[in-house]
Chain A
């Protein structure tokens, strides 16, 4: 991995961030973004790129390794480099996840077209960076022999469907046809490593999408030979792309050799993708070859052994195709939080949820996710059980122990590539509502969403015993009278509803901002947020919330007691749902009358 690549990605990200001027974002938003990014960059530079730092030695080794085009050189790299890579990757991933998560939240706001473009640019740059880091991590794990391979039942057809679905979303504005053929005599149920197979296919087909402007990409899977239960499958990916010159073809599976330098500039990437693919295939006992002609296209061909499996071993919903209009209507507008560490899976799942008009948040950070749950209205959680820092059961524990009842009650669907008996027992123990096996087809996911949505508790009930009886805050949610505001709106219901939507957004944003800045100890930000929300609260006659916001503002200005500030924040968090509920009920009543 070239540190320069990483730095140039960072610089790009920074430029995009700097493009945000104060005129386009509020001062608070812009400075928060810039601050978090700068801190991130400084930390990163100090950790990896400073010559005086102990990491730099290893860094030079990495560079040397990269100039060597012989894979034997890898064996001579000093021990500890992979550990270093793993550590550094983690250092980068965590804050980067924060940036991605924060831009997701930004997109929830009402943004102008220009703002949205820029937020998207930040996200694209962040995702690119994340991919580079993941590849780096994966590569170091593979070369250190640390990667674990699975042997589980999976459905080849739905796996291929998934991969092609995702690749189709990558095609966007190009004129490319994706064609898949699978030999009829290949049994649907196989035993092997489905996530590794997905990764290989995504990499090869995804690569083809990058290099093909028009024409087709064909994936064909044939049964090469069968010995007893052992199936040898040949996968062929043929594209009509720009092709690769003979010279470059020789080194195509070497690490860091992405054809020519300018191709890298044009198409990006670390150049690790193909060497990762080769390493995985080698590890699985297969082999890969490539043939190509400049201007005509490229064909990758690889062979992998699998064991014949039984389709019955795969947990599947009974109905073959459950993507019905009713199901789509049922999940429309659901807010879903996805805990998932693999960026490819993240994108896959988000694309799919978006296509069903669900709103999704993605993270692999337990605390960030918990914070999202406690400050946003989220209907359901999809939980990958195998995440690097905390596993899904641990994250579930955190959720089930939340101080907010609706969060404790939220339906959680576990996602995993294999469910052992022990896993299923653990799911029950941890009050995980349901589980789904990876890779899953769209209709499996949809069925699970619909099923678990129905088990959802509709009423938001927050505990009130946490409120300190000495406090001057009391609930007056029931005193809200929307008919007066409706009068101000000259009886126009849609205007009133629009105002209420704004009101809710502001309140949720306020809760999020305060929580963030309580952690950062940034009292100015809290004071500003409290001031900002006050007039809306006054307008909607939310006296108790208004009082809380006012006290918070005063407290921040006098650099007051943090405990008291925390207490006020909790009061707001507990009072707000009551107010929201009262508002919703009134709206319903007003609509009926």
Chain B
């Protein structure tokens, strides 16, 4: 079976390193993007099986990312949003635009993996 390909958009190095490590250990292929521009570039090259994105990112927020994937690229790829605590409005906004799930910071990697698995099973 081919490895599932995840796009992880996270500008914080610390969190990105930890999640990258855990997702790879979990048997996924991870494409790491540090900001909105990289996300766009990677999306142009490959369509991932699932997208995990922080809401606040330089150049291109997670909200814009959802809009871009759903409207511009017209993709139904599952999107899991990472939100900072206390940003409930943003989460609502994300769901309205087509996000599938969200997880709050501080992110528990094990919880994220469970959420990723669940979304992938739905496909």
Contacts and interface: CB of A to CB of B under 8 A. Distances in A.
Interface of A: 22-23, 26-27, 488-490, 492, 495, 498-499, 502-503, 506, 531-532, 534-536, 538-541
Given A502-B13, A531-B56, A535-B84, A541 B106 contact: yes
A534 B59 CA distance: 18
Nearest to B11: A532
B105 A488 contact: no
Contacts of A535: 12, 14-15, 54, 84, 105-106
Contact of B25 (A490, A506, A536, A540): A490
Given A535-B12, A541-B106, A499 B18 contact: yes
Tell me what chain A mostly uses at the interface: helix, strand, loop, or mixed.
Answer: helix
Given A23-B37, A26-B58, A541-B106, A536 B11 contact: no
A22 B60 CA distance: 13
Interface residues of B, number: 23
B21 A489 contact: yes
Interface in B18-56: 18, 21-22, 25, 37, 54, 56
A495 B21 contact: yes
Interface of B: 11-15, 17-18, 21-22, 25, 37, 54, 56, 58-59, 84-85, 105-110
10 smallest beta-carbon distances between A and B, as pairs = A536-B14, A538-B106, A535-B12, A539-B106, A488-B109, A502-B14, A538-B105, A535-B15, A535-B105, A502-B13
Given A488-B22, A534-B84, A499 B109 contact: no
B18 A488 contact: yes
Given A27-B59, A539-B14, 8 more contacts: A27-B58, A488-B22, A489-B21, A536-B14, A538-B85, A539-B15, A539-B105, A539-B107
A495 B17 CA distance: 9
B115 to A, nearest CB: 15
A534 B85 CA distance: 10
Contacts of A490: 21-22, 25
A142 to B, nearest CB: 51
A23 B25 CA distance: 29
Nearest to B13: A502
Contacts of A532: 11-12
Given A488-B22, A535-B12, A499 B17 contact: yes
Nearest to A485: B18
Contacts of A23: 37
Contacts of B84: 534-535, 538
A497 to B, nearest CB: 12
A19 B66 CA distance: 32
Nearest to B37: A23
A506 B22 contact: no
B18 A489 contact: yes
Contacts of A534: 84, 105
Contacts of A495: 17-18, 21
A297 to B, nearest CB: 54
Contacts of B108: 488
B14 A506 contact: yes
A492 B107 CA distance: 18
15 contacts: A26-B58, A490-B22, A495-B18, A498-B17, A499-B17, A502-B14, A535-B15, A535-B106, A536-B13, A536-B15, A538-B84, A538-B106, A539-B14, A539-B15, A541-B106
Contacts of A503: 14
A538 B14 CA distance: 10
A485 to B, nearest CB: 8
A540 to B, nearest CB: 8
Contacts of A26: 58
Contacts of B17: 495, 498-499, 502
A252 B7 CA distance: 64
A541 B109 CA distance: 15
B77 to A, nearest CB: 24
Contacts of B107: 539
A22 B15 CA distance: 22
Contacts of B58: 26-27
A536 B109 contact: no
Contacts of A499: 14, 17-18
A539 B108 CA distance: 9
Contacts of B85: 538
A561 to B, nearest CB: 22
Contacts of B22: 488, 490
Q: By CB atoms of chain B within 10 A, which of A495, A503, A535 has the most? A: A535
Nearest to B38: A23
B13 A539 contact: no
Nearest to A535: B12
A531 B25 CA distance: 29
Contacts of B12: 532, 535-536, 539
Q: By CB atoms of chain A within 10 A, which of B58, B106, B109 has the most? A: B106
A539 B56 CA distance: 16
A538 B106 CA distance: 5
A560 to B, nearest CB: 18
A239 B12 CA distance: 55
Given A23-B37, A495-B21, A538-B85, A488 B11 contact: no
A23 B38 CA distance: 9
Contacts of B21: 489-490, 492, 495
A493 to B, nearest CB: 13
